[in-house]
């Protein structure tokens, strides 16, 4: 605590500092004497990844083990304006002349980070994609191939391995021009190369319709009750032999649920939200329609509603 003059108390009183809000509060009347103040004291932190290293530092980011120098190299910035410092300019030119073995990796990691941010992916998926790309890049076998497709494929594989799968169409939307076919080919190539390196099959994780359902329902603005019913229907659909992709099953279940609810959705809107073609949704709906009474929860739709459900 410290003393400060309070305009309400008309005298010097003890004040309390609220560091979380940046407020200075009078201890007697509660008047906020200063708001959003900046704490200028030292902020000693430990940025090291190793828990045993307790050396507190105030500058620099965490090291990156995927880079040769750990990502802790010094970069000389360009001078400001035409009248910049000659020494800084000269040093910058000399640094650019030197070869940086990690330059291509740094650019690739930045691209992966940008795609991850646009898709709203967590840091663990981004880090896994960086690791996959580093393994492939070390083999020197991706020269001459579509770099954007390779990076997008690494991100797709990372999503699968972290049990947060994304559709190829979703990955394609942030892949800087790479097509679905190019990403698919790049994915097969990367998996083949890594399996040869490891000497065993590569674990990719199993895709379920439920992995995509909540995201698709959110895009369509469905109610919580409809989302819950769709989740139960998708879980029950795994007990039925339906030879359709999980994404197609999720889209068809959403279509059935919306037809039974008060807020019906057009097939075109479902196709846009899921990335599944309208014809594919219709065909999947045909496969699910005979099992509708088994899939749809009783609390969501009555038998009469299921009988009145439009035939495909």
DSSP string, 246-262: HHHHHHHHHHHHHHHSS
Give the bridge partners for 166, in sequence order.
none
Rounded to whole angstroms, the Cα distance separating 256 from 282 reads 11
Higher local confidence (pLDDT), 3 or 274:
274
Give the bridge partners for 264, in sequence order.
none
Segments in 72-179 forming alpha helices (H): 86-97, 103-119, 123-138, 147-161, 168-172
Domains located in the chain, CATH noted = 3-34 (no CATH), 102-198 (1.10.472.10), 209-308 (1.10.472.10)
pLDDT classification of 105: cutoffs 50, 70, 90: confident
In the three-class reduction of DSSP (H, G, I as helix; E, B as strand; rest coil), residue 23 is classed as strand
In the three-class reduction of DSSP (H, G, I as helix; E, B as strand; rest coil), residue 275 is classed as coil
CA-only gyration radius of the chain, Å: 28
Query: Using a CB cutoff of 8 Å and minimum separation of 24, what contacts does 177-182 make?
Result: 177/148, 178/146, 178/148, 178/149, 178/152, 179/149, 182/146, 182/148, 182/149
Q: Which residue has the tokens 């990719």?
A: 204
Confidence at residue 99, expressed as pLDDT on a 0 to 100 scale? 58
Instruction: Answer yes or no: is pLDDT of 42 > 90.
Output: no
Global pTM value: 0.68
**Could you report how far apart the first and last alpha carbons of the chain are, in Å?**
74
| Residue 89 CA, distance from chain mean position | 39
Nearest CA to 295 out of 265, 267, 261, 253 is that of: 253
Rounded to whole angstroms, the Cα distance separating 37 from 16 reads 13
Rounded to whole angstroms, the Cα distance separating 63 from 198 reads 26
Rounded to whole angstroms, the Cα distance separating 28 from 218 reads 50
Higher local confidence (pLDDT), 115 or 310:
115
229-241: per-residue pLDDT in tens?
999 999 988 888 8
């Amino acid at each position: 605590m410290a003393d400060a003059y309070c305009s309400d108390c008309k005298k010097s009183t003890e004040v309390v500092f609220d560091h979380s809000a940046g407020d200075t509060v009078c201890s007697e009347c509660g008047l906020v004497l200063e708001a959003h103040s900046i704490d200028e004291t030292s902020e000693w932190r430990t940025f090291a990844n190793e828990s045993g290293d307790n050396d507190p530092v105030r500058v620099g980011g965490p090291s990156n083990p995927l880079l040769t120098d750990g990502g802790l190299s010094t970069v000389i910035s360009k001078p400001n304006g035409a009248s910049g410092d000659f020494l800084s300019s000269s040093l910058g030119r000399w640094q650019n002349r030197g070869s940086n073995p990690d330059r291509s990796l740094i650019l690739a990691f930045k691209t992966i980070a940008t795609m991850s941010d646009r898709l709203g992916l967590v840091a663990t998926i981004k880090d896994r994609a960086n690791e996959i790309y580093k393994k492939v890049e070390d083999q020197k076998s991706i020269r001459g191939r579509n770099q954007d497709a390779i990076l997008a494929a690494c991100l797709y594989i990372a999503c699968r391995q972290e049990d947060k799968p994304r559709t190829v169409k979703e990955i394609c939307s942030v892949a800087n021009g790479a097509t679905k076919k190019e990403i698919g080919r790049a994915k097969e190539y990367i998996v083949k190369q890594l399996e040869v390196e490891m000497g065993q099959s590569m674990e990719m994780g199993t895709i379920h319709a439920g992995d995509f359902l909540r995201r698709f329902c959110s895009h369509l603005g469905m109610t919580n009750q409809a989302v819950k019913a769709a989740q139960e229907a998708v879980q029950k659909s795994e007990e039925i032999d339906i030879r359709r992709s999980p994404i197609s099953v999720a889209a068809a279940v959403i279509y059935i649920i919306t037809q039974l609810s008060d807020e019906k959705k057009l097939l075109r809107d479902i196709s846009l939200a899921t990335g599944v073609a309208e014809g594919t949704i219709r065909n999947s709906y045909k496969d699910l329609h005979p099992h509708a009474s088994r899939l749809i929860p009783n609390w969501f739709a009555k038998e009469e509603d299921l009988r009145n459900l439009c035939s495909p």
